[in-house]
Structure 1
Amino acid sequence: NAELQNVVLDASAAMGSNELWEKDATGALGHDLSNGSSSNVEAARRLAKRLYHLDRFKRSDVAKHLGKNNEFSKLVGEEYLKFFDFTGMTLDYSLRSFFKAFSLIGETQERERVLIHFSSRYYQCNPNTISSQDGVHCLTCAMMLLNTDLHGHNIGKKMTCHEFIANLQGMDDGKDFPKGLLKALYNSIKNEKLEWAVDEEEKKKSHSDGTDEKDNGSQTKAVSRITNSNNPFLDIPQDPSAAVYKTGFLARKIHADMDGKKTPRGKRGWKTFYAVLKGTVLYLQKDEYKPEKALSEEDLKNAVSVHHALASKATDYEKKPNVLKLKTADWRVLLFQAQSQEEMQSWINKINCVAAVFSAPPFPAAIGSQKKFSRPLLPATTTKLSQDEQLKSHEAKLKQISTELAEHRSYPPDKKLKGKEVDDYKLKDHYLEFEKNRYEIYIGLLKEGVKELLSGGENDAPGLKKSHSSPSLNQESPVSAKVKRNVSERKDYRPETPSIKQKVT
């Protein structure tokens, strides 16, 4: 069950802010809590009561106090859960009721401890419903992962009920969970996504920022979210204090939609924007960037997160000069035309540097032993690793992917097989090849010293800018006459791999 826990809790960590604003709890009890020095049961009971009734605490404070790794916090968690009676309630309904009381925010380990408290209490209330507390916790994590899968926007094909059941085979202490139970849980999450409570002030702030009020835990004092799908797990962090690494005019063409699906013909035209690479987000604005000016709803809609993305020269696109290709974490492909060869290369370097430095380590692979290949989740949150640790993380990932790619190519599908099996093989091969190339570039940039590149050590002006004068579009401007469709445009919304005979040696 540990693998399952890590998947869902890492996915859950993408919901809400990376940074927790610790509340200065009132009085000596708050001091004892933050230092983890008190183990008094009566004190834990008093604090749990205050947390439950939100007595001088906000909903966003609850998980912080329940999820600390010390004995007192464990006592507080146990006492807090005693306010909930789940007797006779289904697991999904109990979890929804639990989430109505607070905001599940914090680090991965903190969230895991909160969910362990829930699982323990549910099992106490319903000892005969599920065989063990570990089984309850396994299903709780599975529901949260399913919630991300069904209501997410960048994780590929949605999980079916059959796949959900197959992923949980043998995970009830070596046995299978009842199929009826799993079907009921699947339909519950499919019909209504899991959400948790948000403080009123956060709702008001979310509304005033033009974002979805239901993005539970996705707002903080410093970081809001750009929401594309009403799913806060994978929304783009929008940090107003983030550094601006590059600005300038770019023309954009949407080449492939999410998961590399072919963009409809009517939506593939070139449009010119004033591009701003701020933090890990590439904003595409109609007007020149001004720090004091609020972003419009259209600006937010056009924004592209560059976490885990890879920019490269669009060598297979010949209709316009100075075109770069950006492949995002959710496998969208966008083409951008710069005003010169130097500008194109500068944009490529800046985007890849930001991705290399700030992309958080990927979530583990999907639970169970799925036969069908599916890409792992790539979190939109910013890494908390140091630059040296980030380099080691990328190197470890490159080694893992290289080994997996070699193993994959050593077992090609039978020549007699056709259809889905072969397509799945090619898709995985394409994914591993792309990831290998991506990490190689990330590692190279980190070893070269990205600080110089990010601070403007190239042909462009210094990277940490606040504004930029509007350059006039020269003769190589992105706007040009219509040209007959280039055959090479079709390559990126399907695996860019040769036939299996060519690829496997």
Structure 2
Amino acid sequence: QYRENTYEDVAKFLQNFPGLDKSCIGEILGEGDEMSLEILTNFVEYMDFGESPFDMALRLFLSKFRLPGEAQKIDRIMEAFAKHFCAQNEGVFPHEDVAYMLSFSLIMLNTDLHNPNIKNKMTEVQFIKNNTGVGDWPDLPKEFLASMYNKIKENEIKMNDGKGALAGAQKHGLLTRRSKRKNWKPAYFVLREKNLYIFKDEDEASHTSPEELEDDQSSQKKKEKKIMKVSLEGGVQLTTLGNVKGPKGKVVCELAVSSGSEQKSDADSQVLIAAEEEEVKAWAEAIAKVTDNPFEELLSHKMDNKRKKSK
């Protein structure tokens, strides 16, 4: 007999059905509409954190999805996590706000300790100091904070999804790129931290390890695979080009790396891409998040102007 799915059913499906995009799950959980909030509540309450060490509960929680990039969405998700953990583990924290703040602190510590690009690692003393005297609640025991620090140091919280270069990527997908011969060809783009990698296809991306991308000594392997790297470290500009003809029905954009960048790129400083308008906006938003560059709003403004002119 047919039964209409409940929010609990949806939450169980998101956690248990294999092959779902973890980034999409995170986006669903982070939305602020009534339906998404109900799904988030059921998603969290479906998990058993009872008598679990705080770091283990956090690891389990973050293994089920990928945190979205928007601050408000992360806030909703982590607030729900802290509330549920405290409900199942009374007495561990003086208030759920303390659990909420520590969860953020551990995620930041995890990035600090295990990101090879960060040279000056946070010390145990610094971590304890950062989590002492916060808010109006009693301080957590220093022994407890030291234990949390060392657990993260010894065992990284794995929040990656995908395979190879796709693991931990902020965004990846197939776009159309103009070659040096001015021909439009499909290429697979992967945004990782502050670098944009261009592969021949998704298979090549999934079979290239993150270590290969980060290790300068493997540059020869990247050349053999014809992988191109565009560093976004010095800032980028993404602008629509109305005077360049691209594939039918697609918006042509120029991704130009700032000349002030100290990072060398394997690709030219100018990359022309073409995609559906909504896809271009999505890429603009993703790049803006990793570069702290507010050009996404400018791009949307230009697209809106273009739309008005075409009417």
TM-score tier, shorter chain, comes to 0.5 to 0.7
Q: Distance in 2 between matches of 1:389 and 1:103?
A: 26
What is residue 6 of structure 2 aligned with on the other side?
Answer: 43
Ranked by relative contact order (alpha carbons within 8 Å, sequence separation 6 or more), the top structure is 1
Find the residue that maps to 1:171 and give its secondary structure. coil
What is residue 85 of structure 1 aligned with on the other side?
Answer: 48
What is residue 140 of structure 2 aligned with on the other side?
Answer: 177
What is residue 100 of structure 2 aligned with on the other side?
Answer: 137
Q: Distance in 2 between matches of 1:50 and 1:358?
A: 28
Aligned partner letter, 2:195? I
The Cα of 1:295 is off from its aligned counterpart by 5.0
RMSD: 4.2
2:172 touches 2:191 (CA, 8 Å); kept in 1?
A: no
**Is 1:112 aligned with 2:38?**
no
What is residue 236 of structure 1 aligned with on the other side?
Answer: 195
Find the residue that maps to 1:189 and give its secondary structure. helix
The Cα of 1:94 is off from its aligned counterpart by 0.6
Query: 1:386-406 CA distances to partner (integer Å, 9 max, x unpaired)?
Result: 33999xxxxxxxxxxxxxxxx
1:307 touches 1:358 (CA, 8 Å); kept in 2?
A: no
The Cα of 1:45 is off from its aligned counterpart by 2.0
2:30 touches 2:68 (CA, 8 Å); kept in 1?
A: no
Query: 1:105-158 CA distances to partner (integer Å, 9 max, x unpaired)?
Result: 453322332222211111111121011111111000000111111122444411
Q: Distance in 2 between matches of 1:160 and 1:299?
A: 36
Over the matched positions of the two proteins, sequence identity in percent amounts to: 22
Q: Which is richer in strand?
A: 2
State which structure, 1 or 2, has the greater radius of gyration over its C-alpha atoms. Answer: 1
Find the residue that maps to 1:238 and give its secondary structure. strand
The Cα of 1:298 is off from its aligned counterpart by 8.6
Identify the match of residue 385 of structure 1 among 279, 283, 296: 296
Find the residue that maps to 1:220 and give its secondary structure. strand
Count the aligned residue pairs. Answer: 234
Shifted more, 146-155 versus 74-83: the winner is 146-155
What is residue 71 of structure 1 aligned with on the other side?
Answer: 34
In structure 1, list runs of 5 or more residues that go unmatched. 1-28, 30-41, 227-233, 242-266, 268-284, 287-293, 311-324, 335-346, 352-356, 363-378, 391-505
Q: Distance in 2 between matches of 1:53 and 1:159?
A: 36
1:195 touches 1:216 (CA, 8 Å); kept in 2?
A: no
Q: Distance in 1 between matches of 2:28 and 2:85?
A: 20
| Cα gap change, 1:386 to 1:143, in 2 (>3 Å) | same
Question: How does the TM-score come out when normalised to structure 1?
Answer: 0.39
What is residue 156 of structure 2 aligned with on the other side?
Answer: 193
Q: Distance in 1 between matches of 2:58 and 2:15?
A: 16
| Cα gap change, 1:361 to 1:224, in 2 (>3 Å) | closer
The Cα of 1:48 is off from its aligned counterpart by 1.4
The Cα of 1:172 is off from its aligned counterpart by 4.9
| Cα gap change, 1:66 to 1:383, in 2 (>3 Å) | same
Q: Distance in 1 between matches of 2:127 and 2:300?
A: 35
What is residue 260 of structure 1 aligned with on the other side?
Answer: none
The Cα of 1:326 is off from its aligned counterpart by 5.4
Report matched runs for 1:398-413 at 5 Å: none
1:236 touches 1:305 (CA, 8 Å); kept in 2?
A: yes
The Cα of 1:238 is off from its aligned counterpart by 2.4
Find the residue that maps to 1:74 and give its secondary structure. helix
In structure 2, list runs of 5 or more residues that go unmatched. 175-188, 201-215, 237-258, 272-283, 302-311
Question: How does the TM-score come out when normalised to structure 2?
Answer: 0.61
What is residue 131 of structure 2 aligned with on the other side?
Answer: 168
